[in-house]
Structure 1
Amino acid sequence: MKIAVFCGSSTGNLSVYTEAAQRLGRYLAEQRIALVYGGGKVGLMGVVADAVLEAGGQVYGVIPESLASKELAHPGLTELQVVADMHERKAAMAELADAFVAMPGGAGTLEEIFEAWTWAQLGYHTKPCAFYNVQGFYDPLLQMVDQMCSAGFLKQMHADMLIRENSPEALLTSIRQYQPPKHKWS
């Protein structure tokens, strides 16, 4: 199994984010689950990749040429794909991964997990989409998802697709137990 992790290219301003990335990386390696990620050596991306590698796991990175040329690519991965742009990066990661997890991050992290979730709603894939909700980081966003349901813009079954966990163990259990609903236009 390979899990894509979307997360910040910075570490944020609380050490709990770095600690959570290390814990997730170690746990994935212990469970013999490979990491698929954005290929960078910086921020939480670098932290989670390093943790997987240090624990003997496999890491598959996908990075756009524009970032690789700025020497942001992680040098010690199991495999690194250099692609033309962000669109190719997301497509390659989606192809490689069996599930998608968002850790704390910024706009890019949200864009990546929301695209994977949207594709799942439309039936383009049946892979789980999850939030590793470290110290309640995603609580306001998940409240907004609930608001989308209340306002009639999102069906509850599609909101319920999102796995919401705050530990690596619970996250992996929920991913393994995931059952996709019917897609949006079935």
Structure 2
Amino acid sequence: MEGNSLRKFKRVCVFCGSNSGNRQVFSDAASELGNELISGETVGEVRIVSDMHERKAEMARESDAFIALPGGYGTMEELLEMITWSQLGIHKKPVGLLNVDGYYNSLLALFDNGVEEGFIKPSARHIVLSAPTAKDLLVKMEQYTPSHDHVAPHESWQMEQLGNYPNEQNPK
């Protein structure tokens, strides 16, 4: 099974907490995901960036897909930004939640409530894919086809500018 999930994705950006959580099930899920993704080739590299905006833009530019493991505020912030960028049309890549032992059930319920209350379009709700196991999540992600209407066409966004926010000296 090793590496079989990389049929479609060459680089997957994984968002996760800086610690392993209080239960072994979270560490086990991270290991399972690693086993599903690793192809025997070198994994990862170190790049120096000037700030978080540049870091996220670089990860978005280089990745074919995004997966969030259970984590805290930082993990959720990165996840939500990738969801938002998909909705805006900045990327068309799959965004997955590894919903280990129901960790993300409340967040998924919040997204569903956003649809019910008219804040999230039903088609945009399908941006977020989730599954309880790495294998199931990767299958869903490999089958993903964007079906939501983007706020702006993909071509109107320039990925290389995502890390450069306008300021008084450099208006855009």
TM-score normalised per structure 2: 0.80
Equivalent-residue separation in structure 1 for 2:111 and 2:151 (angstroms): 16
- Equivalent-residue separation in structure 2 for 1:132 and 1:148 (angstroms): 21
Higher RCO (CA-CA < 8 Å; seq separation 6+):
2
CA displacement, residues 144-175 of structure 1 (integer Å, 9 cap, x when unaligned): 00010111100011111210111111111111
RMSD, aligned CA: 1.2
Number of the residue aligned with 1:26? 35
Tell me the equivalent position of 1:84: 50
Q: 1:103: Cα distance to partner?
A: 0.5
In structure 2, C-alpha distance between the alignment counterparts of 1:177 and 1:58, rounded to whole Å: 26
- Matching residue within 122, 130, 136 for 1:170: 136
Aligned mates of 1:166, 1:4 — CA distance in 2: 18
SS of equivalent to 1:115? helix
Aligned twin of 2:61: 95
CA distance in 2, matches of 1:58, 1:19: 22
Q: Distance in 2 between matches of 1:27 and 1:160?
A: 23
> How far apart are the structure 2 equivalents of 1:185 and 1:83?
28
Say if 2:85 is the partner of 1:119: yes
Deviation per CA, 1:116-142: give whole Å up to 9, x if none: 110100111100111000000000010
Q: Which has the higher strand share?
A: 1
Residues 138-157 of structure 1 correspond to what in structure 2 (within 5 A)?
138-157=104-123
Task: Report the equivalent of 1:183.
Answer: 150
1:10 alignment counterpart: 19
Distance in 1 (CA, whole Å) between partners of 2:152 and 2:46 is 36
TM-score by length of 1: 0.74
SS of equivalent to 1:163: strand
**Conserved in 2, the CA contact under 8 Å of 1:130 and 1:163?**
yes
Structure ID, larger Rg: 2
Aligned residues: percent identity?
43
Cα separation, 1, equivalents of 2:126 and 2:63: 21
Shift of 1:58: 3.1
Pick from 17, 34, 43 the counterpart of residue 59 of structure 1.
Answer: 43
Structure 1 segments of 4+ aligned residues over 4 angstroms from their partners: none
- Secondary structure in 1 matching 2:47: strand
